[in-house]
Amino acid sequence: MQNNITLQSAKENHELRPLAQKPDSELSLRSLLDMGFTDTQAEQICESVSKFRGGGFTKHALSSLTTLFGLGLNPTSVLKVLQKCPELYTVKESQLQQRIGNLRKVGFVEGSLQRLVVYYPQILTVPVKTIKNVVLFLREKCLFTVQQVTDILRDSPAIVQEDLGQVEYKFQYVYFRMGVKQAEMVKSRLFRFKLDEVRCRHCFLERRGLYETPDKKGQTFIINPKLDSFLKVAQDTFLTEVAKASAEEYSVFQRLMAREWQEEDRHHSRIEADSDDEEVEEDEDDEETSGKSGYRKQRKT
Amino acid sequence: MMAILVDTRLLLRRVKDFRSLMPRRNRVKEKWAATRPKNPPTRLALQHFDATYSVQLGNLWPSVRVALLSERKYGALVNNFSYEAVLANLQAQGCRDFISDTHTETQSCFEQDKAVEADKELGVSMKTSVNNSQQHSALQLSPSIKCVVFPRGDITRFKPARPDMHGLLGYYLMDAASVLPCLALDVQEGHSVLDLCAAPGGKTLVLLQTQAIRFLCLNDVSVSRTLRLKRVLNSYVPKQFLSDEMLRITSFDGTKWAEVESNTFDRVIVDVPCTTDRHSLMEDDNNIFSKSRTAERRRLPQLQLELLLAGIKAACPGGEIVYSTCTLSQIQNLSVVEQAVYLARENHGIHLEVVSLRPLTHMFRKTFHFTPDLQLGEMVVPHLAANFGPIYMCKLKRLT
């Protein structure tokens, strides 16, 4: 089985020495050693490639390796990248080159491009079109500048695999509800955090009277803490420095909020489902929710 | 033929929804405006509280504020008149009776015993300590009041109570902290009790659970609220306990109670109307902070004072009065009591003694958060982990 792979890869790679033509597992290891991998690294690669054997994509493994080397990564980084994201073995060389080219176009210069690939190799598995859409979305729907878009992709590349509807909701929550402008969002690395996390910390501060939504002119009665001062920090720091609350309070609050949002979602979906009826009402047979109107009296925020 | 069958079935399904039988003009519909009013009453209430309570409570306010704005916790008052094994059922769900729980805790827990002793030692020189120990034993005498809550930090909700075979409901969901004024009232066998502002009936139910009251007089100024009180009583208490010899429900103006009868009752509970802090923050409808009710709100402390004075006059000499509110406001709590004590002495020659509720708060300090060092009375403040209250209570004893 192993032979198969080496045969295929050997056929493609003309630079390999004649020795590689022998259909032998030892030889494929050797070719990897020639690329600069250590013994153990080479074995690891062979092993992970063999896992993809069934897919029939193994012929791309070598081209992926060369492309990554072409980016200027050293063997250790290449191995790290492939361990983080073994799917890269299966991507066509032309696609890989295209995607790298696109990232350069988006604004990643040498150095930052390599750092991005090592930090989040999955970005090379995402089609060019998707990335273009994300960039367009950030530019047009959220009005980020070109530089800010690059910064967002650099700091939180996972955004390219998220649902853009959710991303937009998060952006609008932070923009309208919290009154935070784009520059500060980029600075605080907003898109690294889940919406619930952002919302929970914000609501906690708001209900404690430490955060206020600015009015039309951007004025508040109190000085709001900066987004990055309470988002980027660990929970302990958030509680002691910003919220000045106990961990017990926050843990209860998180659970309460989770339930509140769950109910809100259920309520909304119910409105949508019942939209042909004139009115939305409680399910009489749903004991879990009926008679809980007293509990549900929430402040409309 | 098939079509007709299908139609009738559809029709039946429609009819099951009784609301569709109600004429549309009579259905209550919430206002669905495109824009909300600029300053809804809940917002006004919050601004008002921010201004007053941040000064009054200081560092405590943010934590109270977040608790007030989050979902409250309930306690389930176990209905002794119900035939179902309510308590066991609730305990199986993970709740505990916080009233009996403290008894065992203070008895079993070595550390706490020591703390209690230390407290007593400190208080030996003071006259109140005698009172304290007396109350300690007296409070243990009402084991029939059981109120279960979920443990600290647990946010599980109670299911709505179900009727038993006689149609009586198993438990009554209420703010667990509202049980405290009733416990503080310390009703003994054969007492006659007046509840000056009884509706909607939570506290009344607690008092009835003792089954020690010889005569209970319930009053509330609003007729619609007394009707609700009657409904609550009917769904929790068997008919024979609601006979005219044992119970009287009236709708007088409580402030004029002295014109009806005075110096009669052994115990009087005055649970006055107040700014109902938690409610005012949550509900825009009929909110006391709405612009149209400003005058009424400003008059509240005066009304509360009059009600308390009426309650004092209705108690017999030696009788005890508990004043309670569900607000954190000092003007509606301490000031009212202070003034009432003063006015009772000056205008009516009634001398009153403030009875310390420290033993009570000490007992329940695991379940509730109390404000430390209140000069007069005790106050439960909401906290996220124990989101009960706010409840203020102060106990007075008529000396003359």
Q: Within a domain: residue B3? A: no
- A-interface mutation test, from B28, B38, B66, B174, most A Cβ less than 10 A away: B66
Q: Within a domain: residue B325? A: yes
Q: Are B72 and B157 in contact (CB under 8 A)?
A: no
Q: Are B182 and B296 in contact (CB under 8 A)?
A: no
Q: Which of B147, B217, B326, B394 is catalytic?
A: B326
pLDDT, tens digit, for every residue of B113-143? 444 444 444 433 333 333 444 444 445 557 8
Helix (H, G, I), strand (E, B) or coil at A279: coil
- A-interface mutation test, from B70, B154, B381, most A Cβ less than 10 A away: B70
Please name which of B384, B254, B395, B377 lies closest in space to residue B327, comparing C-alpha atoms. B377
Stated length of chain A: 301
Q: Within a domain: residue B347? A: yes
- What pLDDT score was predicted for residue A206? 96
Give the gap in angstroms from C-alpha B102 to the nearest C-alpha of chain A.
22
Q: Which of B385 and B25 is assigned the larger pLDDT?
A: B385
Asked if ipTM goes beyond 0.95, one says no
Residue B355 has pLDDT above 70, yes or no: yes
Q: Within a domain: residue B11? A: no
Q: Does B374 touch chain A (CB under 8 A)?
A: no
CATH number, residue B208: 3.40.50.150
Q: Are B242 and B213 in contact (CB under 8 A)?
A: no
Average pLDDT over residues B239-262: 89
Please name the residue of chain B whose CA is at the shortest distance from the CA of residue A298. Answer: B282
Q: Within a domain: residue B8? A: no
Which residues form the domain of B227?
40-398
Helix locations, chain B, DSSP H: 2-16, 41-57, 61-68, 86-92, 98-108, 110-123, 128-139, 179-185, 202-209, 223-236, 257-260, 277-282, 294-314, 334-348, 358-363
Residue A292 has pLDDT above 80, yes or no: no
Q: How many domains is chain B partitioned into structurally?
A: 1
Note whether A294 contacts B173, CB cutoff 8 Å.
yes
Q: Which of B118 and B231 is assigned the larger pLDDT?
A: B231
Residue B71 has pLDDT above 80, yes or no: yes
| Chain B 167-196, residues with CB within 8 Å of chain A CB atoms | 173
pLDDT, tens digit, for every residue of A134-147? 999 999 999 999 99
pLDDT, tens digit, for every residue of B20-41? 666 766 776 666 666 666 789 9
- What pLDDT score was predicted for residue B44? 94
Please name which of A107, A40, A35, A39 lies closest in space to residue A70, comparing C-alpha atoms. A35
Query: Is B220 annotated as ligand-binding?
Result: yes
- What pLDDT score was predicted for residue B8? 54
Q: Which of B275 and A267 is assigned the larger pLDDT?
A: B275
Q: Within a domain: residue B248? A: yes
Q: How far from the centroid of its chain's Cα atoms is residue B271's Cα? A: 7
Q: Within a domain: residue B355? A: yes
pLDDT, tens digit, for every residue of B142-201? 788 999 999 999 999 999 998 888 889 999 999 999 999 999 998 988 999 999 999 889
Does the N-terminal peptide bond of residue A86 adopt cis geometry, omega within 30 degrees of 0?
A: no
- What pLDDT score was predicted for residue B321? 96
Q: Are B310 and B261 in contact (CB under 8 A)?
A: no
Q: Within a domain: residue B29? A: no
- What pLDDT score was predicted for residue B4? 53
Burial of B151 (0-12, 13-18, 19+ CB in 10 A): middle
Residue A277 has pLDDT above 90, yes or no: no
